Amino acid sequence: MPLAMPAGVLIALLFGLLVWVLPALKVTAALIGVAAAVTIIRRPLRGLLLFGLLATFLPYATVQIGIRTTVSEALLMLVWASLLAHRMFALYNAPLNLLRTERWLIALMLFSALPFVAGQLTVDAQGNGPINWVRWLFNLSPLFLVPRLLDDVKAREQMIIAMLLGTLLLLLLSIPVYLKNGNSAAIISIIGGLGYSNLDTLNEGLSGFSTRMGSPWTHPNITGGALAMLLPLAFCIGMTRQGAVRLLGLAVALLAAAGLLFSGSRGALVSLLLVMCWMARRRVPYVGRMLMAAGVLGALLLMLYPPLQVRLLGLFSNDDASTAVRFLEYSHFPEAMSMFPLGIGFKVDPPVPGTGLWGISNLWLNYIYKLGVAGMLLFVAVTVSWWKESRLPHDAVTLNRDTALWLGSRGGVMAALLSGIFDHYFSFTMVLIALFWLLLGLNLHEARRLQQLTPGVASESGERP
């Protein structure tokens, strides 16, 4: 590039000056950060792969970039800045043909400007609506990064390995800490040293989940949702790959199943079981045996692990606190709709302080709460379009090396949507929804690749025809 020499000289002079006025440790850290940023700007795929690793391992580690945001979101911003720079210097030409699902998501993003403005004017509460709105838009954007950076089989395989490796690191950190201490708050001091902030607030928030496993996802239900979304993918990759990738997939699938039980997320557990039943009905190999084995292991855990007994039996208890709260949320939800017909926007999360309203633990109703009925309908249009557009000819469901990514990502997106019946975390929870839209994009474009193959012929190598 013509600017490479003057830019290099400028950076060298700048850091030479900083060495004189700042401690060496800070200058070294800044130098490493700048070097990483320059590397990502030169090769944005590396930034997206790093996002896949960190978003599944340390999703809420924070960084100060004028505003405090998560490292994962900062990486997404840097990747988009890199693509913009490449386009300006004619190094990269973005694809212009959008799929129907991608066009629907753009419509949702554009429409969100209306609830954003309405919320800024009608919600009387402290909060940075513009920053929260921009962050949410960036968390939807991984869907559009898939055709730009993950447009070949090799890049998608690298992305899956990065996500599974990050999940493995999260589980290897969370499960031993939980087994040793037996409570969710034990991990706070560890993640505090890994870049997490607001530890006092986090400790207070976890005080009501003392018998459930904590993780870098901070909330046990978010942990359960993330594991339920990634477990089908890990299983399909583990059953169809060889060598280290096979071991990685199987290790993540096994540990994620244990982590899901320890997190005590009933909604995530039920949603994953429903997806497994769908896969078994479609005669996906080994899933029926896994369901039988899960039944036996579940019975043993119910006999030997009292916290799990409490969580599962609570599904059928009349005095379960979380179930009672959910029914109260549903009964008060019409009040929120009448008070904020266009949604509350992005200034705060439900419930709005000082209104006496309740929150809502449902993905689609949370869209109504934040964006109004029209926003929820647009989200439904996106997901319905994805379901139709990512189906294979004759609705074929087979598990081999060529279809593993498609089947695993499809099962993961289904698990996330089904968990939305019980929880709202896949609607506006930062970083988690970025992974959701990334997985949906991977499934969408894998389906497009498979649809272009000769009907009935799927190559074992996964290469384009």
pLDDT given at position 462: 39
pLDDT given at position 193: 86
What is the C-alpha to C-alpha distance for residues 154 and 161, in angstroms, rounded to an integer?
11
Of 79, 402, 363, the residue nearest 236 (C-alpha): 402
pLDDT given at position 460: 40
Local structure of 70: helix, strand or coil: strand
pLDDT at 2 over 60: no
pLDDT given at position 11: 60
pLDDT at 185 over 90: no
pLDDT given at position 241: 94
- Both tokens assigned to 193: 């040293």
Higher pLDDT, 104 or 461: 104
pLDDT given at position 407: 94
pLDDT, tens digit (0-9, with 9 covering 90-100), for 281-312: 888 887 877 777 777 776 776 676 666 666 55
pLDDT at 126 over 90: no
What is the C-alpha to C-alpha distance for residues 296 and 291, in angstroms, rounded to an integer?
9
pLDDT, tens digit (0-9, with 9 covering 90-100), for 86-100: 887 765 565 568 999
What distances in angstroms separate CA 108 from CA 129, 343, 413, one per listed residue? Answer: 17, 14, 19
* Confidence grade of residue 163 (pLDDT, cut at 50, 70, 90): very high
* Contact residues for 320 (Cβ-Cβ < 8 A; gap 6+): 314
Strand partners, 63: 69
Higher pLDDT, 36 or 371: 371
Strand partners, 68: 64
What distances in angstroms separate CA 99 from CA 95, 388, 390, 452, one per listed residue? Answer: 11, 12, 11, 15
What dihedral angle (degrees, nearest 10) is formed by the CA atoms of 429, 430, 436, 442? 170
pLDDT given at position 41: 79
What is the C-alpha to C-alpha distance for residues 96 and 148, in angstroms, rounded to an integer?
10
pLDDT at 7 over 60: no
Strand partners, 390: none
What is the C-alpha to C-alpha distance for residues 7 and 100, in angstroms, rounded to an integer?
41
pLDDT given at position 464: 36
- Both tokens assigned to 301: 């855990």
Q: Give the chain's mean pLDDT.
A: 85
What is the C-alpha to C-alpha distance for residues 456 and 35, in angstroms, rounded to an integer?
48
Percent of the chain with pLDDT over 70: 82
Listed in sequence order, the DSSP H helices in 241-362 are: 243-263, 266-281, 287-304, 306-313, 321-339
User: Which sequence spans correspond to the domains of the chain?
Assistant: 4-88
* Contact residues for 256 (Cβ-Cβ < 8 A; gap 6+): 167, 171, 227, 230, 231, 234
pLDDT, tens digit (0-9, with 9 covering 90-100), for 216-230: 999 999 999 999 999
Q: What value does the mean pLDDT take over residues 125-134?
A: 92
Min mean pLDDT across 37-51, 332-346, 449-463 is at: 449-463
| Contact in structure between 252 and 167 (CB atoms under 8 Å) | yes
pLDDT, tens digit (0-9, with 9 covering 90-100), for 16-72: 666 566 665 555 656 666 666 777 778 899 999 999 999 999 999 988 877 788 999
pLDDT at 458 over 50: no
